Amino acid sequence: MNKASAMAVLQSRLDQLEMARQTAMNAQHTQSLTEISWGNQIRTYVLHPYRMVKDLRTNYEVSDPDSVLEGDLDGFILSFLSSSLDKNDEEH
């Protein structure tokens, strides 16, 4: 009987610690988010008079917006990852 109540108390404390950890992680994630508003876009799409897609974070440009609109984002992803690695190298 004593062992069962001790295990229940222990499980309750572990659950409380896990909930506190999850809350802290959620708060940290929420803090890292930027406000979603005009001017915080990632890419610009120009379809007329010339055709171009530009990533504003990395200055990577593509002159074929149709492929980007169809889902070809590999160049943008690689460019962003490369710039992220460069920033991390500069910090360390």
- Domain identity same for 14 and 50: no
* For residues 17-27, average pLDDT: 93
Report the distance separating Cα 70 and Cα 68, nearest Å.
5
Residue 42 confidence class, pLDDT cut points 50, 70, 90: confident
In a domain, residue 2? The reply is yes
Look at the chain and report how many structural domains it folds into: 2
- Domain identity same for 62 and 28: no
- Domain identity same for 26 and 54: no
Decide: 60 and 74 in contact? Cβ < 8 Å.
no
- Domain identity same for 49 and 87: yes
Look up the domain containing 21 and give its range: 1-33
Q: What percent of the chain has pLDDT over 70?
A: 99
